[in-house]
Amino acid sequence: MGMIGADNKALALDAVRKAKTVVIASHIDPDGDAIGSSLAWALILKKMGKDVIVYNRNAVPYSYEFLPGADLFVDHLPETCDLLCLLDCSEFERAGKELVAWRGYDQSLCIDHHLTADLAADINLVYSQACATGELIYELALCLDPGFKLDVAVNLYTAILTDTGSFRYSNSTPSSFAIAGDLVARGVEPWGVTQQVYESQPVGRIKLAGRVLETLRISASGKAASVWVTQKMFDETGTNSEYTDGLVNYPRSIAGVEVAFMARETGLKEYKLSFRSRGMVNVAALAAEFGGGGHHNAAGCRLQGSLPQLIDQVFAIIDNSLQEADSR
Ligand SMILES: [Mn+2]
């Protein structure tokens, strides 16, 4: 078992063992994998005696505050460190402009599972077959601390649980289940984690979901669907962007819909689009047409314009590409 190449693994383990001070960074708007992987990695390195700083530009979303070590996250970078570990993203830009501008590290190590052409770190453990960055951290954990305890296990389980959509998505491999099985054997309680991650919602989240679902639109072909969320909706429900997690799955769940997206207002006529595909359409390629990126079934980009026209434009592109696929 294992997917990290032997040479790459040796390089990474050597860099980790030599480093005394380590900064762990992950992408903005961190998800369960970014946070769980960062914390698992931090707890392993701390146990090895390293000075570890866990950096994210954004705060930990409420659904992940229960994770062991969640209070380690800080939103500022130190002067210097020996090793920078970039997790769950391969491009420094994804971690924010502060990290892009920062030069305080001697060496950089990237651990990620996103499809990318841009390997920007000194050592790159980038394997898109991994279901989550947490899977790669698990593999490294077995080398560095094979007897790792529940604190690490809960973080890795959460990383894999959330990135596989609770083991429902096509990235749920035999390896995902095998690792989850080992983590449960180490004491993780699946229902306990589920309740924390999915069933501890503030009432505002449900009110926001109601408002967002009212914006549902379906494309001419019936194969694309959209919802949107505005700052006004956040204000009126006492919520913010971290409460939108998962809402885009509702339009995708409609019979016949292949691609769904949610447009979130980020400024005046500025929107962040999150795409979800059932599998027929590669939304990473779709998002790339607009300067974004991601995975085959989940990707995102930013667009400017007025909302109804933006949605019609994106619908037309999706409908066209599906029509081409049909006629082939
Ligand atoms: Mn991930």
Q: CA-CA distance, 266 to 168, in Å (whole number)?
A: 30
Q: Are residues 190 and 232 in the same domain?
A: no
25 C-alpha to ligand 1 centroid (Å): 13
Closest CA to 24 of 40, 13, 11, 8: 40
- At 202, list the tokens: 């503030």
Number of domains in the chain: 2
Q: Are residues 66 and 140 in the same domain?
A: yes
In a domain? residue 33: yes
Output the pLDDT for position 327: 75
In a domain? residue 157: yes
85 C-alpha to ligand 1 centroid (Å): 15
Q: What is the pTM of this model?
A: 0.88
CATH code of the domain covering residue 276: 3.10.310.30
Give pLDDT tens digits along the chain (328 positions). 689 999 999 999 999 999 999 999 999 999 999 999 999 999 999 999 999 999 999 999 999 999 999 999 999 999 999 999 999 999 999 999 999 999 999 999 999 998 777 789 999 999 999 999 999 999 999 999 999 999 999 999 999 999 999 999 989 999 999 999 999 999 999 999 999 999 999 999 999 999 999 999 999 999 999 999 999 999 999 999 989 988 999 999 999 999 999 999 999 999 999 999 999 999 999 999 999 988 888 999 999 999 999 999 999 999 998 888 777 6
Q: Are residues 260 and 152 in the same domain?
A: no
Torsion of CA 153, 63, 58, 259, to 10 degrees: 100
33 C-alpha to ligand 1 centroid (Å): 5
- Sheet strand arrangement including 123-126: 73-74, 51-55, 21-26, 81-87, 105-112, 123-126
7 C-alpha to ligand 1 centroid (Å): 23
236 C-alpha to ligand 1 centroid (Å): 31
C-alpha angle 297/12/9, rounded to 5°? 70
Q: Of 179, 198, 217, which one is at a domain's C-terminal end? A: 198
Q: Are residues 232 and 194 in the same domain?
A: no
Q: Of 182, 198, 214, which one is at a domain's C-terminal end? A: 198
Q: Which residue range is the domain that position 49 belongs to?
A: 6-198
128 C-alpha to ligand 1 centroid (Å): 10
Q: Are residues 141 and 271 in the same domain?
A: no
In a domain? residue 1: no
160 C-alpha to ligand 1 centroid (Å): 8
134 C-alpha to ligand 1 centroid (Å): 8
93 C-alpha to ligand 1 centroid (Å): 16
88 C-alpha to ligand 1 centroid (Å): 5
CATH code of the domain covering residue 70: 3.90.1640.10
Q: Of 132, 166, 198, which one is at a domain's C-terminal end? A: 198
Q: Are residues 130 and 210 in the same domain?
A: no
84 C-alpha to ligand 1 centroid (Å): 18
Output the pLDDT for position 295: 83
Q: Are residues 96 and 224 in the same domain?
A: no
Output the pLDDT for position 2: 84
Output the pLDDT for position 328: 67
Q: Are residues 184 and 208 in the same domain?
A: no
Closest CA to 302 of 266, 271, 268: 271
CB under 8 Å to 285, separation ≥6 — which residues?
none
